[in-house]
Amino acid sequence: MIRRLGAVSYKLARRIVIAVIGGTILLGGIIMLITPGPGVVVILLGLAILAIEFAWAKLWLDKVKHSVTPEGREALRGRYTRLRDRWFGRRS
């Protein structure tokens, strides 16, 4: 009973520590986007830390990694073009 409680407490404490550290680094990266500093790199670091414990962070990190590849950039460019055309009409 006590051993099982200790395992649950350890998992919860680890999850909280990872959330606090990763969230702080992620927030710092977001702040660095508008202030001087390597914002994108710090955001990636924060997402990598959060991805250790959280599935949503792993999904976001995978999307960001994909957008860095040439194929991913082309897909984002196509999505941007479709949205621009829908909102502002086709440009000649």
Each residue of 5-59: pLDDT tens digit? 666 788 888 999 999 999 999 999 999 988 888 888 898 899 999 999 999 999 9
3-state secondary structure of 62: helix
How far apart, in whole angstroms, are the C-alpha atoms of residue 24 and residue 45?
11
Which helix (H) or strand (E) covers residue 70, if one does? Answer: helix 70-88
25 within 8 A of 45, measured Cβ to Cβ: yes
Q: Counting beta carbons within 10 angstroms of the beta carbon of residue 47, is it exposed (0 to 12), middle (13 to 18) or buried (19 or more)?
A: buried
Q: How confident is the model at residue 1 (pLDDT cuts 50, 70, 90)?
A: low
For residue 26 the two structure tokens come to 């992620």
28 within 8 A of 47, measured Cβ to Cβ: no
Each residue of 58-74: pLDDT tens digit? 998 888 877 777 777 77
